[in-house]
Chains A and B, each alone.
Chain A
Amino acid sequence: MIFHPTILALLIGSALSSVMVLAGAAFGVRVLRRWDIASGRHGQLVLERRTYLFSVLLAFVMVAELLSLLLFVFNADRMSAQFVGAMCAVGTLNANAFGFPALILKIAVFFLASVWLIVNHVDNMGYDYPLIRVKYAMLIVIAPVVLAAAGVQAAYFLDLDPEVITSCCGKLFTQDATGVSAELAGLDEKAALVLLFGSLALAGVVAAVHARTGQGGMLYGAVSVLVFVAAIAGIVSVVSLYVYEHPNHHCPFCLLKPEYGYFGYWLYVPLFAGTVLGMGGGPIAVFAGAPSLAEIAPRVSRRLVTTSMVCLTGFGAACAYAILSSGLILFGT
């Protein structure tokens, strides 16, 4: 299966990313040990110059990882034709033990990478590299995740065997099965909806407070993670039902198919964008302590949180639209 063009492309992409992130992490260790902005030593100058290189390299890695997450999901969906029993991406990912771990790691890389890019952006705005240690410490944490994602992805593709009979989404996302997917599918519809719109409302309140007073950035970061969890649970347990107009079809991947008007993109794109902007944008406010960022950090934070809230509102609107325009009636008559 390894000679599948998209698989080759994904492997090339993750190999390139891994090499660059490793180099970045090694540089990060040097920064953490030797960085001294006050010093005029040759070594310090070299470090300062190198930071430009690694900013660009890592921006490249992060963009590549973002694209590769999309391509990975797309490709899983496309390859479902080649597995007996698979009807969408779930079947392909389920074809061996590495599929879902690879997807989860890739999503984790996407979030970490985007937050890193936000920190990097703010750092570049200050004149004295105010966040350089934070940034490279983060990179040292991110590097193993990127490597793990690359490794698990490679294991997944190498181990793919078209002879394996896999199971489709109908089997995985159902109340009767076991595991996280089944738990999500079995969630009470009313509770899931309350959780979904409740967390969105909470995010709205925190964002409004933040916009007015500049307080609560950290809290907004936490709330956006909560929104993400509630949203995924809500999509699996209720929203998908309305989109499919079917009381038992819980699959979060079939939403991306043309049969359902690619409706999943209206949900996932604003959700992922809103979450990541919130996760990165909210906590950025705490960096106002650095003199060169005293004015910049709150401004950037406010802008990112507002944008994040716009995205999440868009996500909420998409959910509401799915529910209101659906022919399925779950509650009342």
Chain B
Amino acid sequence: MTVWLRRQKRLIDYTVASLLRRAARNFALLAVYTLIVFVLATVMLFTHALRQEAMVLLDGAPEITVQRISMGRHDLIPASYVDAIADIRGARDVRGRLWGYFYDTANGANYTLMVPDGDRYGAAPDVGETVAGAGVARSRGVVPGKYLFLLSPRAKLFKLKLKDVLDADSEIVTTDLVLMAESDFRAFFDVAPDVHTDIVLKVRNPREVAKVAEKISNALPDCRVVTRGDILRTYDSVFNWREGILLALLGGAIFAFVIFAWEKASGLSAEERREIGILKAVGWETSDVIKMKMWEGAVVSLGAFLTGYVLAYIHVFYFSAGLLEPVLKGWAVLYPRFELTPQVDGVQVATLLFFTVAPYIAATLVPIWRAAITDPDAVMR
């Protein structure tokens, strides 16, 4: 075992020295390789972090959301439905929610107006007061203590005193929020007192969620029942799909890189040929030359992979993936500013290895062999 290890160590020594002797020539390959890893790793790290962010947020979401559907569109739900649902065994904390979207002509952004239910955003503000998300406060230039003016859909001007701005930590979901009292909300949108936007409920036993959902849709046939599991699954597939599509598109780049690597490995310079010839003349076997060349590939791959991955990590988690952001995140007037939580995932690293290192090694195998079978006398003559 130690003999074997020492042998490999010497081979690596030799390989590194030989790579450094032709540093300029090898640099181009290393740079392209690193770039490929960097782009792919950015896509993967970024989507993974976004997916994780969504999961963490949805963790606190209610198990079941009930929406009334009228003519195929989301409609307001009567308050009497709350009692109907509360009668179903297993359903807890059944509450009607009030929320709506509002297009602000002042800055062309969409806000989410909402009456907090005391759960996530604390108690509702007093009448005439509001708590707003950081994006809203930023784009309207309002600070706590000043007034936020909103022109209601009925063209009435509402004046709300900004009590507080929501925490920057939760910006990814709260950036466009405007929280207000129930009476303000109903007056603003002109909503009747006995309806809600939708109804949410909790289910204590997770195994009962599907059954409770089924009972609700039987009891209230005009309603759509959405469970948290459905939402999680949808998010997961959407992010996977975006990531996959991007990777598939980048497949062209990988293919180009593979051809480049193949060319590079086949086009040995006269000097390299001579070197292999001399090695074989002094007693190296074909398999030794192959091993040496394989180590060369391993050193280059490892270097490129680590550099590319670390650069991608920095790009994503310190610079918010500035280069790819618009594609993966989508776009909005009030886009939240948020920091992603750094996360490295084993499966993802393995996947990335399959995408980059495997094609590279596969492409260089035949050229390596061809170089290794060179006859010493043919090149030294």
Contacts and interface: CB of A to CB of B under 8 A. Distances in A.
A60 B301 CA distance: 15
Interface residues of B, number: 36
Given A5-B243, A9-B351, A71-B351, A84 B290 contact: no
Contacts of A290: none
B240 A60 contact: no
A interface residue count range (under 10 / 10 to 19 / 20 to 34 / 35 or more): 35 or more
Interface in A1-15: 1-10, 12-13
Contact of B233 (A52, A60, A162): A162
B368 interface: yes
B354 interface: yes
Interface in A63-107: 64, 67-68, 70-71, 74-75, 78, 81-84
Contacts of A78: 347
A57 B365 contact: yes
Nearest to B244: A3
A74 B240 CA distance: 16
Nearest to B229: A84
B229 A4 contact: no
Contact of A60 (B236, B241, B287, B365): B365
Given A3-B245, A6-B347, A56-B290, A82 B359 contact: no
B350 A74 contact: yes
A49 interface: yes
Nearest to A124: B287
A134 interface: no
A16 interface: yes
Contacts, number: 93
Contacts of A194: none
A32 interface: no
Given A6-B347, A81-B236, A82-B233, A52 B286 contact: yes
B354 A10 contact: yes
A179 to B, nearest CB: 24
Interface string B360-372: 0110011011001
Contacts of A20: 362
Given A5-B351, A56-B365, A12 B358 contact: yes
Contacts of B368: 56
A49 B366 CA distance: 12
Contact of A53 (B240, B244, B366): B366
A55 B294 CA distance: 13
Interface in B336-381: 346-348, 350-355, 358-359, 361-362, 365-366, 368-369, 372-373
A5 B369 CA distance: 31
Nearest to B356: A9
A4 B247 CA distance: 9
Contacts of A4: 240-241, 244
A84 B241 CA distance: 18
Nearest to B291: A56
B369 A53 contact: yes
Contacts of B248: 3, 8
A64 B369 contact: no
Contact of A56 (B44, B232, B294, B352): B294
B377 to A, nearest CB: 15
Interface string B37-56: 00000001000000000000
Interface string B238-274: 0011011101100000000000000000000000000
Contact of B354 (A1, A3, A9): A9
Interface in A180-199: none
Contacts of B243: 3, 5
Given A5-B240, A67-B350, A52 B359 contact: no
Majority SS of interface residues in chain B?
helix
Contact of B232 (A5, A57, A74, A81): A81
B275 to A, nearest CB: 19
B248 to A, nearest CB: 6
Nearest to A75: B347
A5 B237 contact: no
Contacts of A75: 347
A57 B232 CA distance: 42
Which of A9, A60, A84, A162 counts the most B-chain CB atoms under 10 A from its CB?
A9
A322 B48 CA distance: 34
B260 to A, nearest CB: 17
B362 A16 contact: yes
Interface in B279-323: 286-287, 290, 294
B236 A82 contact: yes
Contacts of B373: 49, 52
B347 A74 contact: yes
Contacts of A60: 361-362, 365
B152 to A, nearest CB: 41
Which of B44, B229, B358 counts the most A-chain CB atoms under 10 A from its CB?
B358
A71 B347 contact: yes
Contacts of A74: 346-347, 350
Nearest to B355: A9
A71 B347 CA distance: 7
B365 A12 contact: no
Given A81-B233, A124-B287, A71 B244 contact: no
Interface of A: 1-10, 12-13, 16, 20, 49, 52-53, 55-57, 60, 64, 67-68, 70-71, 74-75, 78, 81-84, 124, 162
9 contacts: A3-B244, A5-B243, A5-B348, A5-B351, A7-B244, A52-B369, A53-B366, A67-B353, A82-B236
Given A9-B352, A60-B362, A70-B350, 5 more contacts: A4-B240, A5-B44, A20-B362, A49-B286, A52-B286
Interface of B: 44, 229, 232-233, 236-237, 240-241, 243-245, 247-248, 286-287, 290, 294, 346-348, 350-355, 358-359, 361-362, 365-366, 368-369, 372-373
Nearest 5 A/B pairs, CB to CB: A3-B244, A9-B354, A53-B369, A9-B351, A6-B351
